[in-house]
A and B are shown apart, each in its own frame.
Chain A
Amino acid sequence: MSAVPYDLSYSMRQFLYDRVRPIILYALAGIFVVWTVAPVLWIATMSVQPEINYVSVPPKLSLADVSLRWYADMLAQADVAAALQNSIVIAFTTMTLCLVFGALAAYPLSRLQLPRKNWFLTISIVSRMIPSMVLIIPMFLIMRQLRLLDTHLSLIIVYTTFLLPYVIWMLKNFFDQIPYALEAAARMDGCTRLGALFRVMIPVAGPGVVATAVFAFIGAWNEFLFGLILSTRLAVPITVKLSALVSSTFHSDTSLVAATGMLAIIPVVTLVFVLNRYIVRGLVEGVKY
C-alpha cells in the first residue's frame, strides 16, 4: 500500500471507514435506542411528576418536583400491593414448575430412546402455536367446574401448561449441547439417571437453565388474557390490575397509573438487565428446530 501513498480511492475509503462509518453507526444506534427507550422513559417521567407538569402545554418537567410518592401511594393501596404479590407468587411458582417438569421431559427427549419421540416433539411445537383465545372460554368453564376460579392455582396451571412446550424446547436444545460422556461419567460415579440430570446436566447447562427460567418467569408475569378472565378479586395479577386502573375513571391522577405501570415492569426489566447475556442465548436457542 505504501507504494501509492496518495492513492485517492484508498484514502477516500479509509476516510469513509474511519470518519463516516462511526457517525452512521452511532446515529442509527441512537435512533433505535430512542425508539425502544422513549415510551418507557416517558411513563417513568410521568410516574415521578405531578400530573399538572406534563399536562401543561408545553410540558413543564422539573427536577425539583421529582417524587416517589405516587409509588408509595399505590403500594399503600391494598389491592395494588396484593396484585403485585399475586404476580410474584404466580410467576415464581410457574417458573419452578416449568423448570422441574420441563427438565424431566426435556431429558428423555434429548437423551433417551423414546418411542414416538418425533410425535412428542411435533406436539410440543404445535401446542406453542395455539392462540390463547381458543382456550379461554373452555378454560373458564373447566376452572369453574374445578372450583378454581380466582385462585393462584388456576393461573399457575394455565401458565405452566402454556409455557412448558417452550421451556422443554429450550432445555432440550441446551441438553443436546452437553456431551453424552458427561452424563455417563456421572452415572458411573454413582448417580442414578435422575441424579445425573439434577447433579450434572442441569448445573452444566447452567446459563441455559437461567435463561429458560427467566423466560418462564417473564412469560407468566406478563400474561394478561387468562388473568383477566380467570381472576376476579383475590388472584388478580398486576397486568390485570393495571388495565383496570387505566380504564377506570376513579383515579383522577394519571401519575398513579404511570407508577403502577412502572411497578408492573420493574421486576422483569431488572431481570433482563441483570441476566441479559443468558437471555439472548436462550431466546435464540428457543427458535432452533
Chain B
Amino acid sequence: MSRVSLRHVAKSFGPVQAVKDVTLDIPDGAFVTLLGPSGCGKTTTLNMLAGLEKVTRGDIFIDEQNVTKWAPHERGMAMVFQNYALYPHMNVFGNIAFALQLAKVPKAQIKERVHRVAKALELEALLERRISQLSGGQQQRVALARAMVKEPKVFLFDEPLSNLDAALRTRMRSEIKKLHQQLQATSIFVTHDQEEAMILSDYIAVMREGLVVQYGPAEDIYRRPQHLYVATFIGKPRMSTLSGHLRVTNDGAMTFESDTITLRWPFMPQHGPIIPIDTQAHLGIRAEDAQLLVDANATAPHSSDVFHGEVTLVEPLGSDTFIEVSRGGNAIVVRVAPDLHLRPQIPVSVRLPRHKLHFFDMANGNRIDL
C-alpha cells in the first residue's frame, strides 16, 4: 500500500506530445481513475507509472521515493491489461505463479498463494487449463489473479473491461470493486467509460489532450464540473447545454438570452457577495435536475425560468424515461416518470432551477461560479 504522485510528468514521441504536464497525488489505498477519450494520454501516463514508458520530463514518486528512472520490475506494481496478456505457453497455474517464481518464492509457498488467490476468484477448477481453453471472462479473472498474487504496492488497470461483452463487463466491474474494498490497495484504473469511472473510483482525473482537466473525488467531478468538457463527458445522459448571453446584475437578478430563448431568474437564492457578470456562456443542466411542468399554466407569472418547447424524442428505460425537449435548435434532456406517456410533438415546458445550473465561459470552457 502506497502513495503515488506524479510531478509535472510529460511524454513526447518525437514531435508528438502524448502527455503534456500531469501532476497527480494518489492517496494510499485510493482507487483512482484516469478518464478520457482515446488519445488523451491516459494509457501513456499509466505506462510511465509502470515504468514501461520512459518519462520525458517530470518525476514519479512512490512513498516519497523518486522512481522515475526505475525499471518496471523494480517498482513492485502489478498491471491488468486490456487484452489480458496471458502467457499462451503456460497454463493458468503457470500464469499466476510466474511472478512468484521470478521472485524466487519457495515452491510450497507459491502453491499456497496461487491456490488462495485462485479460490478468491473462483479459478481453482481451471488451474491446469491452457489459456486458449478459457472464455474471455475467465481470462480476465486469471489476469486479475496474476496481479493479485504478487501482493503489489500498486495495482494498475489498463482498460481491463473494454474487451468484455456488456453483461460480463458489469460483473467484472463489481468484482474489481469488491476486490478493492477487501484489499484496500492503491489502484489506478484507466478507462474511456465514464460510467465505469463513476462506479469504481474514489477519485477521478479527467484527461484531455495530454492534460488533466479536473482531478478530484468522483462526486465533485459529477456535481461541480470545472470545465464544460468534464461536464459533458461525465454523466449519462449527457448534460444538456444551451449557448447564449449570461448577465448577472448588481441586485442578483440573472438572465440568459439567445436568439430564440430568454430565461430570467429574479432572485438570489444564496447570500453572499454578488459579482456582476456579463458574458457569452454555456448553460448546462443534467436530466435529473430539469423539471417537466405538466401544466404549463401553473408557472408563476413573474418567474420565467422555463424553457418552452416540444418533445422531439422519448427514450423509455423502464425505471426512468428520458425525453428531449427542443426549440429552435436548442434541446434539453429531461428525466421524467415512466408512467407519463408522452409522444413527440407535444408542447411542454421545462423548469430550470437556478441552483441546479452550471455555467461555462464560452471563450475557454471554464466554470463560472455565481
Query: A200-B87, A204-B89 in contact; A188/B82 too (CB < 8 A)?
Result: no
Q: For residue B75, which residue of chain A has the nearest CB? A: A188
Does B235 sit at the interface, judged by CB under 8 A? Answer: no
B73 and A185 within 8 A (CB): no
B103 partner residues in chain A, CB cutoff 8 A: 190
Contact with B along A184-195 (1 / 0, CB 8 A): 111111111101
Query: A187-B72, A189-B150 in contact; A182/B102 too (CB < 8 A)?
Result: no
B47 partner residues in chain A, CB cutoff 8 A: 184
Query: A189-B146, A190-B99, A195-B102 in contact; A182/B79 too (CB < 8 A)?
Result: no
Query: A184-B50, A187-B52 in contact; A192/B85 too (CB < 8 A)?
Result: no
Contact with B along A167-197 (1 / 0, CB 8 A): 0000000000001011011111111110100
Q: For residue A193, which residue of chain B has the nearest CB? A: B71
Does B301 sit at the interface, judged by CB under 8 A? Answer: no
CB distance from A110 to the nearest CB of B (A): 16
Does A22 sit at the interface, judged by CB under 8 A? Answer: no
B15 partner residues in chain A, CB cutoff 8 A: none
CA distance A206 to B79 in the complex (A): 25
A181 and B72 within 8 A (CB): no
Does A267 sit at the interface, judged by CB under 8 A? Answer: no
CA distance A241 to B177 in the complex (A): 72
B89 and A188 within 8 A (CB): no
CA distance A250 to B129 in the complex (A): 63
Query: A181-B81, A189-B150 in contact; A204/B87 too (CB < 8 A)?
Result: yes
Q: Of B50, B52, B89, B150, which is within 8 A of A203 by CB?
A: B89
Interface size on A, residues (CB 8 A): 18
Query: A181-B81, A181-B82, A195-B102 in contact; A188/B87 too (CB < 8 A)?
Result: no
B150 partner residues in chain A, CB cutoff 8 A: 189-190
A195 partner residues in chain B, CB cutoff 8 A: 73, 102
Q: For residue B13, which residue of chain A has the nearest CB? A: A113
Q: Of B52, B89, B102, which is within 8 A of A190 by CB?
A: B102
Select the residue from B51, B72, B86 with max chain A CB neighbours within 10 A: B72
B102 and A185 within 8 A (CB): no
Within 8 A of A (CB), among B39-89: 47, 50-52, 71-73, 77-79, 81-83, 85-89
A203 partner residues in chain B, CB cutoff 8 A: 87, 89
B102 partner residues in chain A, CB cutoff 8 A: 189-191, 195
B83 and A188 within 8 A (CB): no
Select the residue from B73, B78, B103 with max chain A CB neighbours within 10 A: B73
Does B98 sit at the interface, judged by CB under 8 A? Answer: yes
Q: For residue A181, which residue of chain B has the nearest CB? A: B85
CA distance A181 to B82 in the complex (A): 8
CA distance A200 to B78 in the complex (A): 17
Q: For residue B87, which residue of chain A has the nearest CB? A: A200
CA distance A190 to B76 in the complex (A): 8
Select the residue from A182, A186, A190, A195 with max chain B CB neighbours within 10 A: A190
CA distance A179 to B82 in the complex (A): 11
CB distance from A209 to the nearest CB of B (A): 11
B99 and A184 within 8 A (CB): no
Q: Of B51, B71, B81, B89, which is within 8 A of A185 by CB?
A: B81
A191 partner residues in chain B, CB cutoff 8 A: 73, 102
Query: A188-B79, A189-B98 in contact; A182/B50 too (CB < 8 A)?
Result: no
Chain A interfacial positions (CB closer than 8 Å to B):
179, 181-182, 184-193, 195, 200, 203-204, 206
Give 5 pairs: A residue, B residue, CB < 8 Å, sorted on A: A185-B87, A189-B78, A189-B146, A190-B73, A195-B73
Chain B interfacial positions (CB closer than 8 Å to A):
47, 50-52, 71-73, 77-79, 81-83, 85-89, 98-99, 102-103, 146, 150, 156
Q: Given A182-B87, A185-B87, A189-B146, 18 other A-B contacts at CB below 8 A?
A: A179-B83, A181-B82, A181-B85, A184-B47, A184-B72, A184-B79, A184-B81, A187-B52, A187-B72, A188-B50, A188-B52, A188-B156, A189-B78, A189-B150, A190-B102, A191-B73, A204-B87, A204-B89
